[in-house]
A and B are shown apart, each in its own frame.
Chain A
Amino acid sequence: KRARRPKPCSLRELELTVSELGLGYDSDETLLLRYCSGKCLEHRQNYDLTMDHMVRTGFKKKGRKDKVSNGPCCRPIAYEKQFSFQDNKHLHHTVRNMSAKNCGCV
């Protein structure tokens, strides 16, 4: 049985209502939420390999308890500027930088 290859960092989509965003708005309008998910294994630098080692053994030997991320993270590198909608009380709202436009390993 082959090991499953992890999916690389990419933009994903999910259809949901504004109420489901958890931002405190009550609106049944449906939108497409875009977000970033996946692995960034191929983007590791010597810095990341070193940090991986340091967190496991190196820091302890030197008396440090620092927590350091040991690899790049899959995060938005650009956001959709704004999204406007009408809530269930017929008021209009605009939220900024709520949905991802592009993803990157940073």
Chain B
Amino acid sequence: AEKNCNPCLDAAKACNLNNSCKRQRSAYIATCSKEDTNKGEVCSQKRCHKALRQFLDRVPPEFSHRLLFCPCQSEGCAERRRQTIVPECSYKDKEKPNCLEHRRVCRQDSLCRSRLADYMVNCEVTPQTVSTCPNQDNHQACLASYARLIGTEMTPNYVDNSFSNWTVSPWCSCKGSGNQEEECSNFLREFTDNTCLRNAIQAFGYGLDNMQNK
């Protein structure tokens, strides 16, 4: 039954039937799932991040966003979605750093710094209006900024395989923040508790359903 209704599987099919998407997707999956024999690591995260950035730079969002934001109604689908970026390599690390420390590392890198700033602007929650995203509810800009963080130090991902109550987060926590606890949780909530991002991802799925029904 799930086989017949798995939007993430449909997204993979669409990608596999497109030569460029198939090639770029195969390239990052192969890189990210390849053991780094030199260092005895799970993989080379640096190479994996580079391959992911290339995939997202070169493949049109109609393919890549469909893989990242497929609207799931089952755990199997949500797990496939969570695994899209090969999180064992691109997301997880041995230790979970404090989010402010994680942000500091990101800001030392010009690419990560600018992409994070971009995300903060385009996915900013605007409480004073009825709309939830900046610039006349520009969901697309928020999703694109989120996707452009993938392959940086601040790579975000779905934290588990929940489909009804999903959460996205970078690989960090606010443990050990000391007197900066509030600043840390404010930063983390830009991902975990962001109405603009949440609506943008949900609207993406809704938009796809509409297109298929036409």
Contacts and interface: CB of A to CB of B under 8 A. Distances in A.
A30 B4 CA distance: 13
Interface in A82-97: 82-86, 90, 92-94
Given A92-B83, A92-B86, A94-B33, A30 B26 contact: no
B9 A84 contact: no
A85 B12 contact: yes
B175 interface: no
Nearest to B25: A84
A21 interface: no
A30 B29 CA distance: 16
Contact of B9 (A28, A32, A92): A28
A83 B22 contact: yes
Consensus secondary structure, chain B interface:
helix
A29 interface: yes
B130 interface: no
Interface in B68-127: 79-80, 83-84, 86
Interface residues of A, number: 15
A94 B12 contact: no
A31 interface: yes
A63 B69 CA distance: 70
B26 A94 contact: yes
Contacts of B86: 92
A15 interface: yes
Contacts of A82: 26-27, 30
Given A32-B17, A94-B29, 12 more contacts: A28-B6, A29-B16, A30-B9, A31-B17, A31-B22, A82-B30, A83-B16, A84-B25, A84-B26, A85-B16, A92-B32, A94-B26
